[in-house]
Amino acid sequence: MKRTEYVLRRGGIYLLGLFVMALGVSISKASDLGVSPVNSIPSVVSEITGVDMGVCTTLVFIGFIFVQLLILRREFKPVAFVQVLCSVIFGGFVSVTGFLCGLFLPPCENYAMRIVYVLVSIVFVALGILLYLEANVLSLPGEGVMQALSKKTGIALSTAKMIFDWGVVIISAILSLVCMGALVGVREGTVLAAIGVGLCLKLLGKLLRKRVQAFLAPPPQKKAVA
């Protein structure tokens, strides 16, 4: 395998991961039972302002980059601003998948169907995370905040993730209650996603990680001729 093909494979898997994750977000949005924690603020802001969720996702994710700056201060590396690029790409994918879901997904007619949508979205989000992490190209800003919090405080990354998830959910809930008088975008589906994505990611990792890693394996090094 040539070096160019290797780079294209990693880039392709990275973009596929972001697209699949965005599809999961859009399906959960269609359930009207809430989205995953990291996407809850964009979802609520979209409901409040009427602005497309993809645009809100891009803007909120760029905001997460500045949160990293506030946490790390002098330790913040300007190269982290490259995350703006993946924020724009992911936000664009959310807009596209939201449009596609509006065209092809049947509307939820009962609560059971809403739960099914949430469960399906969990699978897509977990699969997208697996692909985008294995590609190891650029971190999304939410993950960057978790890493910054872990680095600055010394707490485990898993603990930082819990703090981040609960923090954004609380902010989303407050925004929703203050601006709309009800919980919109943060409901039982958010809780299911917070628990289910991690569990599903572990399962998919056991089933698919080795295959993805084999597909992304770097080309063999040529032996120098003596």
HSE of 226, CA atoms in CB hemisphere, 13 A: 0
What amino acid occupies position 23? L
Q: How confident is the model at residue 223 (pLDDT cuts 50, 70, 90)?
A: low
> Per-residue pLDDT tens for 178-198?
998 888 878 889 989 988 888
- CA separation for the pair 183, 200 (Å, rounded): 26
Q: For the chain, what is the total number of helices (H) and then of strands (E)?
A: 8, 0
The string of DSSP codes covering 75-97 is G--GGGGGHHHHHHHHHHHHHHH
> Per-residue pLDDT tens for 85-123?
999 999 999 999 999 999 999 988 899 999 999 999 999
10 Å CB burial of residue 1 (0-12, 13-18, 19+) is: exposed
For residues 180 and 48, the answer to whether their CB atoms sit within 8 Å is yes
Residue 41 has pLDDT above 90, yes or no: yes
> Collapsing DSSP states into helix, strand and coil, what is residue 190?
helix
For residues 186 and 34, the answer to whether their CB atoms sit within 8 Å is yes
